[in-house]
A and B are shown apart, each in its own frame.
Chain A
Amino acid sequence: MRKPLKLKNRIYIAASASVAGRDEAAGPLGGLFDVTDTEGNRFGEDTWEKAESAMQRMATDEALRRAGYRADEIDALFAGDLLDQCVGSNYAHSGSGIPYLGLYGACSTAAEGMILAALACEAGLGVCAAVTSSHFCTAERQFRFPLEYGGQRTPTSQWTVTGAGAFILSRERRGGGVLPRITEVMAGRIVDRGISDLSNMGAAMAPAAADTLLRYFGAGADPSDFDLIITGDLGREGTDILLDLCAASDLDIAPRHADCGLMIYDGCSDKHAGGSGCGCSAAVMAADVLVKVREGALKNVLFLGTGALMSPVTVNQGSTIPGIAHLVRIAGEEG
Chain B
Amino acid sequence: MNADNKTYARYAEKRAKKSPVLQNCARAFTVGGIICCAGHALRVLWSAAGLSEDDSGMMASVTLILVAVLLTGFGKFDEIAKFAGAGTLVPITGFANAVASTAIEARSEGLVTGVGAKLFTVAGPVIVYGVSAGAIYGAVYFVLTKLF
A residues touching B (Cβ–Cβ < 8 Å)?
A: 46-49, 141, 145-156, 192-197, 200, 203, 207, 236-237, 240-241, 273, 320
When chains A and B are docked, how far (Å) is the Cα of A46 from the Cα of B75? 17
Bound form: Cα–Cα A141–B16 in Å: 25
B146 near A: Cβ within 8 Å? no
Closest A residue to B97 by beta carbon equals: A150
Check if A152 sits within 8 Å of B85, measured CB to CB.
Answer: yes
CA gap between A241 and B81 in the complex, in Å = 31
Q: For B97, list chain A residues within 8 Å (CB).
A: 148-150
Total number of residue pairs linking A and B with CB closer than 8 Å? 93
A interface footprint on B78-121 (CB within 8 Å = 1, 0 otherwise): 10111011001100001001101110111010000000000000
Q: List 19 A-B contacts (CB under 8 A).
A: A47-B108, A145-B122, A147-B101, A147-B104, A148-B77, A148-B100, A149-B101, A149-B102, A150-B80, A150-B84, A150-B88, A152-B19, A152-B24, A155-B16, A194-B8, A197-B16, A203-B12, A236-B17, A237-B15
Q: Is chain B's binding surface mostly helix, strand, loop or mixed?
A: helix
Nearest B residue to A154 by beta-carbon distance?
B19
- CB B115 to nearest CB in A, in angstroms, measures 12
Q: Please tell me if the beta carbons of A150 and B89 are within 8 angstroms of each other in the complex.
A: yes
Inter-chain contacts of A145 with B (CB < 8 A)? 101, 122
A152-B24, A152-B82, A193-B12 given; name 14 further pairs at CB < 8 Å.
A141-B105, A146-B105, A146-B106, A147-B105, A148-B73, A148-B78, A148-B97, A152-B19, A156-B16, A195-B9, A197-B16, A203-B16, A207-B8, A237-B15
B145 interfacial contact with A, CB 8 Å? no
Task: Verify A200–B5 contact, CB threshold 8 A.
Answer: no
Q: Does B72 count as interface, using CB distance less than 8 angstroms?
A: yes
**Given A151-B78, A155-B18, A237-B16, A146 contacting B101 (CB threshold 8 A):** yes
CB of A49 to closest CB in B, whole Å:
8
CB distance from B6 to the nearest CB of A (A): 7
User: Which B residue sits closest to A272, measured CB to CB?
Assistant: B17
Q: How far is the CA of A334 from the CA of B128 in the complex (A)?
A: 67
Complex formed: what's the CA distance from A273 to B15 in Å?
Answer: 13
Cβ contact of A147, chosen from B4, B18, B78, B80, cutoff 8 A: B78
In Å, the complex CA distance between A320 and B1 comes to 10
Establish whether residues A195 and B12, one from each chain, have CB atoms under 8 Å apart when the complex forms.
yes
Closest chain-B Cβ to A306's Cβ sits at a distance in Å of 15
Docked complex Cα distance between A147 and B80 (Å): 14
Closest Cβ of chain B to A287, distance in Å, is 28
A192 to B2, CA, bound (A): 11
B84 proximity list for chain A (CB < 8 A): 150
**Which partner residue on chain B sits nearest A148 by CB separation?**
B101
Contact status A149-B18, CB under 8 Å: no
